[in-house]
Each structure stands twice: as structure tokens, then as C-alpha cells.
Amino acid sequence: MGEEKTTAVSVGIGDVLTGTVEHIAPYGAFIRLDSGQKAMIHISELSHNYVKKVEDVLELSQQVTAKVIKIDEKGRIDLSIKALQMRESRPVRREEDFEKKLTSFMKQSDEKIADLNSKLKDARSGKRRAGKK
């Protein structure tokens, strides 16, 4: 048991680990890591898409690669497959890109409107001068 604690210390949040699905429950899957330790992947950490049943994504004895997202005070390890998929879907980056594009568009639009208003004002004042002469 002391050996397992030593191994547990070597696992850190953010590590990417591999293991085998040992047990499937309605709320997630229990993984036997290559190091011999046990970990769990909650159903919400299986995919960015909605998962109705764990069995829709994982099966017993399946090899998985997942990222460590939490280690609690008892040394229990929580994993996420979804965290490794973020690079592909990049939902936060898309939102940031949209915000940047929208801000840039609004700034350019404001500048163009100000320029048009200035030209319109100049054109109106030019006509008034021409009409007064």
C-alpha cells in the first residue's frame, strides 16, 4: 500500500496517462492505469458532445489515453478524455476569434461612418457656400 502512495505522488494534474477500462458505471468508467493505479473518468469528461451512456463511448478492456484533471485529498485520480480533444474543437479560441473580429469590424465601421459624416458635412457646407454666392 505504501508503494501505491509513492506512485500516486508521481502523477500530477495535467499528465497524460494510458490505461484500460476495468469497470463501467452509469456515471463513468474506472480505469486501471499502466502504473497499476486506479482512476475514474466521469461521463461528462468523455466527450464534448452529449453522452447518454458511458457504453456509447467506452467498452470494457478498451485502452484509453486521458489527461489528469484532479487528484483529491485521498489520492483519487480523475481523468478526462475530453480535455485531450480541446485542441481539435477549440471552443474557447473560436469565441475569442469571433470577439476579435467583431471588435475590429465595429471599429472599422465607426471610422467609416465618421469619415462619411465628415464628407457629408463638407459637401453640405460647400453647397451652402455655392448657393450663397
The verdict on 58 and 116 lying in the same domain is: no
The verdict on 70 and 127 lying in the same domain is: no
33: pLDDT confidence band, cut at 50, 70 and 90? very high
133, pLDDT greater than 80: no
- CATH number, domain containing residue 30: 2.40.50.140
How many separate domains does the chain show?
A: 2
The verdict on 72 and 113 lying in the same domain is: no
- Integer CA distances (angstroms), 26 to 30, 110, 129, in order: 11, 54, 81
21: pLDDT confidence band, cut at 50, 70 and 90? very high
Average pLDDT, the chain: 84
54, pLDDT greater than 70: yes
- Structure-model confidence comparison of residues 10 and 86, the more confident one: 10
pLDDT of residue 2: 44
pTM for this structure? 0.58
3-state secondary structure of 30: strand
The verdict on 68 and 42 lying in the same domain is: yes
The verdict on 85 and 35 lying in the same domain is: yes
Q: What is the pLDDT of residues 81-113, one digit of tens each?
A: 999 985 444 455 666 778 888 888 888 999 999
Expressed as residue numbers, the domain containing 108 is 90-133
Neighbours of 98 (CB within 10 A): 10
The verdict on 18 and 49 lying in the same domain is: yes
The verdict on 95 and 127 lying in the same domain is: yes
pLDDT of residue 1: 45
